[in-house]
Structure 1
Amino acid sequence: MKRRNFIERLTYAGAGLSVSIPACVTSNISSLPARRAIAGAEAAADAVIIGGGLGGCAAALAACRNGLRVIMTEETDWLGGQIAQQGVPPDEHQWIETHGAPQSYRDYRNRVRDYYRRNYPLTDEARARELLNPGDGAVSRICHEPRVCVAVLLEMLNPYLSSGQLQILTRHKIKAAEGDGDEVQAVELINLETGDTPILTAPYFIDATELGDLLPLTGTEYVTGTEARSATGELHAPEKGNPRNHQAFTLCFAMDYRPGEDHTIDRPANYDHWSTFQPTMDPPWPGPLIDLDYSNPRTLQRKELGFHPEGIKTGDMLNLWNYRRIINRHNFRPGTYPGDVTVVNWPQNDYFPGNLIDVDEATFQKHVEDATQLNLSLLYWLQTEAPRPDGGTGWPGIRLRKDIMGTASGMAKYPYIRESRRIKAEFTVLEEHVGAENRKLVAGPEAGKTSAAFADSVGTGYYHIDLHPSTEGDNYIDFGSLPFQIPLGALLPVRMNNLLPANKNIGTTHITNGCFRLHPVEWSIGEAVGLLVSFSLQRKVIPRRVRQDKGLLAEFQTWIRSQGLETHW
């Protein structure tokens, strides 16, 4: 029996190392636990995608429609990543309805609207609205329920599932990987329900996980945290880098409001801690985390937010209830919903006392449990202590909607991750390429007017550079960017030939990750990677060669444009 070297799923005390190849465990395949994959001990495909978020699903759709056989795995029981398992309505730019993302992403959004029209008792006015926004949330033109994302993605993937071209393994987590030099040969999973450990083989492996989990297992070089200004030359980079300094994660939850009812939860065990917790940051946070005051992301001065669970306008202040509202009861026939439904992904439940990258499982779970306690404390505060316009306190009619997130706890199935491990890439996107202020320093007539033009562009995107408070005490870092291109070089690891990133794990810095991490950009990255695998297999070249050969690159870009990707604004 062939012997294989599996790199186990290990974590390291020295988190954030620009990694060397991790410790290996040599195993005989026959001695590993019994494996029942889809059809036996091993399963093979043209591409194996680890992670069923937006990037993973976009990669699967692109590869399947071009004839590839694909196996996609997902740690939870839902697809959809940011929108579904993490419960975050889409963060998008103002041109999203017409351009600035692949056609397939706009198709997804239109399918969401159609899903509501086909299945929900909308009012006549809402049904006729071309740009229906089910929740009318302030953050997006299409705020919708997580489970609708799951349903629509499955609808898009179902033709390939039906034909057997695509196989999806939910509740499977990456456990180990086998490599030979610059190639990944196989990955080992663990079925979180049965304990079985299937092995998957393929010519190409795509890391679409939320934290870049495949990178350390395969020995792929990566970086984490902040880079020093001396290393990147970025205006907003710190003087000293810190690989442990990551953006906060958020464990989202949903709630509705039922006037006249009392849904107050039991006082959380850690309420005394979280209700008085004041972040230690530079510049300082203005007061307790659980409050309606927070740091203005742009100025870092105290800013007051409003809150009213009936959606009523709160003066000039943003009403947090409306911010990520996913059901506006007025869009549905009277009596369908007694109140609106909103998602809590606010400054008040950002979690920054610890990070989730390169830590052991016990530490990971501790931070998730602490984030749960923060959420329950915030909910209890809203129900009992939040100031009301009438001078009273608390809204006992606020109800935790466990069913919205599909969990017994009411918390999202997975934390909302803003920052991942990032590959050491053939090309790294810097602030000078996309930052509005930094671009003004670039010589030439277009200085400060456009982002850098990339000859190897495979997509477009836009969002301001938005970094939330960090695990090492940074306050918000939030400033303008310019509509940008996604360079192929940022999707290519410096050494590995057949592993590609399809999430937040591409070649950006801590700073530029702040505008590349949003929903449509992740989709764009995933689709480009799925097409790159297809093209590389057709041409029998490694992906790096596509970028190096001008003729191949031009052919690839023409081909992906014919499939609905945009390479230029």
Structure 2
Amino acid sequence: MPATGLRVTGLRADILVLGGGLGGIAATLAALRLGRRVVLAEALDWLGGQLTAQGVPFDEHPWIELGVGSQSYATLRQRIRDYYRRHYPLSEQARAASLLNPGMGNVGTLCHEPRVAVRVIDDLLAPFESNRRLAVLRRHALVSAERDGDRITGVTLRDLASGRHVAVEAAIVIDASETGELLEAGGVEHVFGAEAARETGELHALTEADPFDQQSLTWCFALDYLPEQDHTIDRPARYAEFRDLKLDFWPNRQFDWTVSDHVTHKPLQRALFTGDSDADYLFDLWHARRIAWRRNFAPGFYESDITIANWPQMDYWLKPAIGVTEAEHAAALEEARQFSLSFLYWMQTEAPRHDGGQGYRGLRLRGDVLGTNDGLAKQVYYREGRRLRAELTVLEQHIGVAARPGASAAQSFPDSVGIGAYRIDLHPSTSRLRDTVDIDSYPFEIPLGALLPVRVDNLLPGCKNLGTTRITSGAYRVHPVEWSIGEASGTLAAFALAHGIPPRAVRADPGRLAALQQLLVDGGAPIRWPSFGALTPRTRRGYRPGQP
């Protein structure tokens, strides 16, 4: 892994990117390729966010393998496949597969081990670190932001290894953090939780706004399965309490193989296994996010398949995590960890088996796969955070099928700077404890107006913290969309600096807007959906039905 960056008390850059998730990486690469100097700061030691530190394999639209989308994102995916071909003992059949799927998970066509993506991302950044146009500050957390009127002039970070404070000054700052940390620290107008229908006019909004109605968290973990062994963990202290929890809208206790179908809300059977072999399974949990399929590799290379546990039974909805005190945030995260461990313990000891027994004691935590000692991911899976109050807010009426009667596509934005596709997918929520909202949406665009704060001149969002509502955030939060948001913001920041103007001045000038859009297209970032085939509204996880 490359060095953690410069160990100095002060840094200057053209652009500061706070957050090393996929949006932050895309923003950084876009700005670097346009000649800017960048500081990238991340509180964890791994870059990659939801793809790596949170342990969430790619969630993508059905046309991803046709090359529809950002070419730099396609490069990331191809390099992951190339890494396996160079370094892993693939089977002859796997090596010959043009669309290699190392785990053969049915969530998508590229399910892989998180550490492979970490290494690929490090390699993408390494040349820019070598020529000192990029400083990557791993394990550096945000302390504060300094402001001068409507500008953020710099931030203070804390080196989590040494405790030293590092001041970073930058002309433009991009908040690519998982929860929109810089929006709050910089006093940037933002919202979190659920808006009211009377405010947004959305079909699926709440009657009354509730900032603490937030999507459930999930603390993912990696597992393999050695049926002849016993890897039962210690019984979590609150196991009985968590095991017996039941949501009013859930068919049984949450720790059960019967869940609420995301779309229909009818009872749905989702067991860990539905048979003893790959030929037996019918979209069971084990195969959903499997990241290593032993038959793709040389005999004996893996003792077992490896899968990522990110399933409905693990959704943690007891406490909100955004907009609360630091102590309340820490308490919610710790409960989410214990909730996941309790579900694992239930699977190991009490769960009904597919063969009629009870408990899968051979389930083994694989913390090494996620870079941890305790077996869980480095970071909780945040499905939402703070969202920018922007010049334009994406509404359900812009992209939702039911909210656009008579339309056959999402609204096209004159200021589009990217494209994306995913269903509007909201998991069970805190506060109101309502069931999922999982509804059809059309392939959509990313409007420049959603990247521009209503007031602050030099801050841009770099991921799911752009100007969406709680409803539309459910479509803009997944991997390729996050990448495209970051790529657009990084390109916009470099363009604005090159012309000596604030980012909002680009949208206000038709000539400059056209030049920015052409710059994106020339760089391989499409701003309109291609006209081919039938782009159906059912954009979510086009490789399998249903959950999770």
1:477 and 2:437 equivalent? yes
Matching residue of 1:11? none
DSSP-derived class of the 1:115 partner: helix
1:499 and 2:459 equivalent? yes
Matches within 5 A, 1:35-434: 38=6, 40-280=8-248, 284-308=249-273, 312=277, 317-434=282-399
Amino acid of the structure 1 residue aligned with 2:351 = A
2:273–2:281 contact (8 Å) kept in structure 1 = no
Q: Distance in 1 between matches of 2:382 and 2:264?
A: 24
Query: CA offset at residue 390 of structure 1?
Result: 2.2
2:5–2:138 contact (8 Å) kept in structure 1 = no
Amino acid of the structure 2 residue aligned with 1:414 = Q
Matching residue of 2:412? 453
DSSP-derived class of the 2:49 partner: coil
1:100–1:460 contact (8 Å) kept in structure 2 = no
Q: Deviations over 1:405-453 (max 9, x none)?
A: 111211111111111100100000000100011111xxxxxx3211001
Matching residue of 1:7? none
DSSP-derived class of the 1:202 partner: strand
1:309–1:321 contact (8 Å) kept in structure 2 = no
Segment of structure 1 superposing worse, 131-140 or 316-325 = 316-325
DSSP-derived class of the 1:154 partner: helix
Matching residue of 1:462? 421
Q: Deviations over 1:33-88 (max 9, x none)?
A: xxx99364211000011100000000010111111110000011000001011000
1:73–1:173 contact (8 Å) kept in structure 2 = yes
DSSP-derived class of the 1:497 partner: coil
Matching residue of 1:21? none
DSSP-derived class of the 1:88 partner: coil
Segment of structure 1 superposing worse, 461-470 or 237-246 = 237-246
2:191–2:387 contact (8 Å) kept in structure 1 = yes
Q: Deviations over 1:115-157 (max 9, x none)?
A: 0000001001001100000101111110111111100101111
Q: Distance in 1 between matches of 2:274 and 2:265?
A: 27
DSSP-derived class of the 1:494 partner: coil
Amino acid of the structure 2 residue aligned with 1:156 = L
Amino acid of the structure 2 residue aligned with 1:455 = P
Q: Distance in 2 between matches of 1:308 and 1:38?
A: 48
1:308–1:314 contact (8 Å) kept in structure 2 = no
Among 512, 519, 540, which residue is 1:552 paired with? Answer: 512
Q: Distance in 2 between matches of 1:407 and 1:474?
A: 33
What's the TM-score once normalised by structure 2's chain length?
0.94
DSSP-derived class of the 2:66 partner: coil
Corresponding pairs, count: 525
Q: Distance in 2 between matches of 1:429 and 1:259?
A: 49
Q: Distance in 2 between matches of 1:314 and 1:340?
A: 15
Matching residue of 1:10? none
1:324–1:344 contact (8 Å) kept in structure 2 = yes
2:58–2:110 contact (8 Å) kept in structure 1 = yes
1:311–1:319 contact (8 Å) kept in structure 2 = no
Structure 1's 554 and 332: CA in aligned 2 closer, same or farther, altered over 3 A?
A: same
1:511 and 2:471 equivalent? yes
Among 463, 482, 502, which residue is 1:522 paired with? Answer: 482
Amino acid of the structure 1 residue aligned with 2:290 = R
Query: CA offset at residue 479 of structure 1?
Result: 0.5
Amino acid of the structure 1 residue aligned with 2:105 = G
Amino acid of the structure 2 residue aligned with 1:74 = E
DSSP-derived class of the 1:568 partner: coil
DSSP-derived class of the 2:106 partner: coil
1:539 and 2:499 equivalent? yes
Amino acid of the structure 1 residue aligned with 2:213 = N
2:214–2:384 contact (8 Å) kept in structure 1 = yes
Structure 1's 314 and 391: CA in aligned 2 closer, same or farther, altered over 3 A?
A: farther
1:306–1:317 contact (8 Å) kept in structure 2 = no
Q: Structure 1 stretches of 5 or more lacking a match? A: 1-35, 441-446
Q: Distance in 2 between matches of 1:131 and 1:557?
A: 31
**Percent identity for Structure 1 against Structure 2:** 49
Query: CA offset at residue 522 of structure 1?
Result: 0.3
Superposition CA RMSD, Å: 1.5
Query: CA offset at residue 376 of structure 1?
Result: 1.4
Query: CA offset at residue 360 of structure 1?
Result: 2.2
Query: CA offset at residue 454 of structure 1?
Result: 0.5
DSSP-derived class of the 1:538 partner: helix
2:192–2:323 contact (8 Å) kept in structure 1 = no
Segment of structure 1 superposing worse, 149-158 or 354-363 = 354-363
Q: Distance in 2 between matches of 1:209 and 1:529?
A: 14
2:274–2:354 contact (8 Å) kept in structure 1 = no
DSSP-derived class of the 1:439 partner: coil
2:218–2:381 contact (8 Å) kept in structure 1 = yes
Structure 1's 375 and 406: CA in aligned 2 closer, same or farther, altered over 3 A?
A: same
Q: Distance in 1 between matches of 2:40 and 2:511?
A: 31
Q: Deviations over 1:456-507 (max 9, x none)?
A: 0000000011000001211101100000010000000010110100011100
DSSP-derived class of the 2:361 partner: coil
Segment of structure 1 superposing worse, 518-527 or 316-325 = 316-325
Matching residue of 1:23? none
1:489–1:547 contact (8 Å) kept in structure 2 = yes
Structure 1's 316 and 144: CA in aligned 2 closer, same or farther, altered over 3 A?
A: closer
